[in-house]
A and B are shown apart, each in its own frame.
Chain A
């Protein structure tokens, strides 16, 4: 199966979720998303960093410089309290949305709407 591109607007949610799993650098966030989706989602690498910057700008994640597993200097991100709250509400929203979408898509015929 070819990996699917990310639906516009959902990258921020995916990044928040990936960071919520623990302190991680940008490349690691990318890997987490791909692994978690079993390589079904394809994050465009260039879009990741503007997304991280945007979330940091909004105060949803924080960054600090540290040393990576391969002993390189790397910028690590962690979720803030605001970020946690946002992740929770956005996740709930998304679930509602996808459930609704699922219902619409699974409508068998016109009679089912009556």
Chain B
């Protein structure tokens, strides 16, 4: 029977029952009439008619089964019984739903974020697959730079065919002029790019081949977010221009909000590669070109291998034609399956595995916990189950009833999980990307789509099986009839052993989870509180493409600005570049940075020994050096570093990345500066830093760090933006506070810490609640035994100690099993974090203590209660 028929029957159920009644009534009456006609007395005839038909209810049931209503009746009866049974213990039902709901919600949040980025496929108008160029490598395996748009265009005839089209794109950041200049994020694309995506503009038109030709007037397509942010939702934008650093881009269209580009962070606008080149030329005055990402749309049937065979020679020919000394030996191509570039997707998938493992571990803990509670409940209901068994219910039938309860719980928990997920996923997602949002980018929206529903259903199903089946089988097993008598010990062997095993494994899993969480929190804490060696609060990175002395003079006159310094690499942007050096007889690698004479004073880095650079030393690039304290200790232990010499082998220039810097040769150490942290914060101070003097000049140092009075920082920053944008519209600057850089570095830790804290807290709560519930139940069900013991002369303290011992044994066993796993995790993490962070004493000592305290609390309170009951009462208890 189809579901539709069943639904029709259910809708007209009353009518069906009435009809069935009258049909059978008609049968009895007709038979009675026949009998009367044959001479039977009326009363007797009615009696015979009823007897002949037999048990009417039984026939009705057969009819119901014949039309498919029977199975439904059985099922709904089962459901009613399960609901009644759950309603009888509201505390259990509520805590079970909350525990499982929280665990499912955590899984769903992670899954919906993952799904929104990695399971959404790009929408392409043609059938086929998108292949990403992931990596170009030289013969030595090193990465080669991405080709430029012009280069890609020049090789496109060799690659493009009927079966393949090129998609060229590059994320660009441009400064939008006006009274309050702001950074805008866009995507420079080739003419084929947008037409190949399923893109219908909300107004106007998209960019196509017409726009991407040399000499065409620069045009621009806005995204919905870009339209709102960059034009303030101007309803009449078509034909207007946006001015980027002196170049006007004419707006030709606006995309709808639901348009998905091939980008995880949707751009605010799209321009063409030619439009970008026009802007680039005007802005920097050079013909420098940016590298572009390449994707190829392959028609069905065309093989990625044949694409590789066309692409590699074309790129190699290109490299040799331009006389590049970088060979290209291989190209790595990957099929794109999501909004992320294939290479990024691969990396993210790798990163997602341990995170999914962690949140699944929370689910495992929750399931082990619920299984335990179910088992305890089933044991408490042994009498009920035994009575049902003695009345002829099969084991399968009883398992089914227990499983129905479990699936009801799991369904409620999944629904709760879905609601929690829907409420929290978008705020969490925006929090995780708050830095990007702060910079003006708008992330894609997270959709709670059918996949999330499916995941919730699957999780509900899996959890039902995992927390319901074992307890149901164990508690309906052998010796059930003994349960009817209630004088057996606390259930048969099987459930209590299973319960102990579940308790032990739950505690072990919780411990692992908590130790991992503590590890993450400790790492985050370290990143949060590390001393970076200078006061980043008062520093701004000017981020001007080519600062010069004139600009510097103007900047230093801005109210609130207290100084400035030129550097090669701004601290916090990465470790000093490693360079090979010779100290005495030893060769070693040292971290190298170039700074002007005001670096240490501007950043407030104290000099521990010797002197600072002089102005003339910076101008002349004198052969002197200041080393960090750590470097001094390492290179000259026990000696004065002042006057020591460091030899740089010929031509370290490629390493330095300074084209016309000249040979460094030998330098003399004139000072020792305090250590600073310029790389990843959590790894601590730089292991090695050698500072060489250089002046602010094109081709020398071109990063300017400005120190401001913290009280006037915001006003000074505004003024700086105004000055360097006003001075030459083609050369804008975008100052960043170093505190933002620190915050950006800390954000992942901040997020990891929040996530780990929540996971750890949930696991701890689940463990504690479960432990309490189960231990308490065990004690309560032993009330009778305790009464017997006291009647036989046991003291109250002795009884409590006995009960407590049993509970603590399980906790200790769980800890003993969990600890090696934790130690393994810590040992693996210690490679990157250092053992002192990886081995988190708080987790290793605190968590077992907390679990034990919970066990003690859960044991002592009811056990003491039990000892206070008079033995006669306890013995009478049923």
Contacts and interface: CB of A to CB of B under 8 A. Distances in A.
A45 B53 contact: yes
Interface residues of B, number: 24
A50 B33 contact: no
Contacts of B616: none
Contact of A27 (B30, B54, B55, B67): B30
A49 B62 contact: yes
A50 B65 contact: yes
B347 interface: no
A75 B66 CA distance: 17
Most buried by A among B30, B31, B59, B65: B30
B66 A26 contact: no
A38 interface: no
A109 interface: no
Contacts of B1: 57
B68 A72 contact: no
A72 B24 CA distance: 12
A66 B106 CA distance: 61
B63 A53 contact: yes
A98 interface: no
A75 B65 contact: no
B26 A75 contact: yes
Interface in A48-76: 49-51, 53-54, 56-57, 65, 68, 70, 72-75
Contacts of B24: 49
A72 B689 CA distance: 107
A49 B23 contact: yes
A22 to B, nearest CB: 17
A27 B27 contact: yes
Given A27-B30, A46-B59, A50-B62, A75 B54 contact: no
A45 B52 contact: yes
A19 B65 CA distance: 22
Given A45-B52, A46-B59, A27 B66 contact: no
A50 B63 contact: yes
A17 interface: no
Contact of A46 (B26, B53, B66, B67): B53
A33 to B, nearest CB: 14
A54 B70 CA distance: 13
Contacts of B19: 65, 75
A57 B53 CA distance: 22
Nearest to B53: A45
B54 A53 contact: no
Given A46-B59, A57-B67, A70 B30 contact: yes
B22 interface: yes
B29 interface: yes
Contacts of A32: none
A47 B23 CA distance: 14
Nearest to B68: A57
Nearest to B29: A72
B549 interface: no
B29 to A, nearest CB: 7
A70 B33 contact: yes
Contact of B23 (A45, A54, A75): A75
B6 to A, nearest CB: 11
A73 B26 contact: yes
Contacts of B68: 57
Contacts of A50: 59, 62-63, 65-66
Nearest to B56: A46
A9 B27 CA distance: 23
A49 B438 CA distance: 74
Nearest to B64: A53
A46 B58 contact: yes
Contacts of A25: 23, 26
Contacts of A27: 26-27, 30-31
Nearest to A25: B26
Nearest to B58: A46
B26 A74 contact: yes
Contacts of A72: 26, 29-30
Contacts of B62: 46-47, 49-50, 53
Interface in B30-71: 30-31, 33, 52-55, 58-59, 62-63, 65-68
Contacts of B54: 44-46
Given A27-B30, A57-B1, A73 B66 contact: no
Given A50-B65, A57-B67, A26 B23 contact: yes
Contacts of A56: 67
A51 B65 CA distance: 11
B107 to A, nearest CB: 43
Contacts of A49: 20, 23-24, 27, 59, 62-63
A53 B53 CA distance: 16
Nearest to B60: A49
Interface in B1-22: 1, 19-20, 22
Contacts of B59: 46, 49-50
Interface in A66-114: 68, 70, 72-75
Contacts of A65: 19
A108 B22 CA distance: 53
A45 B67 contact: no
A54 to B, nearest CB: 4
Contacts of B67: 53, 56-57
Contacts of B33: 70
A57 B27 contact: no
B346 to A, nearest CB: 55
A51 B59 CA distance: 10
Contact of A73 (B20, B22, B31, B58): B22
Nearest to B55: A46
A70 B24 CA distance: 16
Nearest to B61: A50
A59 to B, nearest CB: 11
A104 B152 CA distance: 88
A49 B67 CA distance: 11
B736 to A, nearest CB: 75
A25 B1 CA distance: 24
Interface string A35-47: 0000000001111
A27 B30 CA distance: 7
Contacts of A44: 54
A46 to B, nearest CB: 4
Contacts of A54: 66
A26 B59 CA distance: 13
A10 B23 CA distance: 23
Contacts of A57: 1, 66-68
A25 B59 CA distance: 17
Most buried by A among B33, B53, B63: B63
Contact of A26 (B27, B29, B58): B27
A51 B66 CA distance: 8
A107 to B, nearest CB: 39
A25 B27 CA distance: 9
A63 to B, nearest CB: 9
A24 B67 CA distance: 20
A42 to B, nearest CB: 11
B282 to A, nearest CB: 79
Given A56-B67, A75-B19, 18 more contacts: A26-B27, A27-B26, A45-B27, A45-B53, A46-B53, A47-B62, A49-B27, A50-B59, A54-B66, A57-B1, A57-B67, A57-B68, A68-B26, A72-B30, A73-B22, A73-B26, A74-B26, A75-B26
26 contacts: A26-B27, A27-B27, A27-B31, A45-B52, A45-B53, A46-B55, A46-B62, A47-B62, A49-B23, A49-B62, A49-B63, A50-B63, A50-B66, A53-B62, A53-B63, A53-B67, A54-B66, A56-B67, A57-B1, A57-B67, A68-B26, A68-B30, A73-B22, A73-B26, A74-B23, A75-B23
Pick the 9 closest A-B CB pairs, nearest first: A50-B62, A53-B66, A46-B54, A54-B66, A46-B59, A27-B30, A53-B63, A50-B66, A45-B53
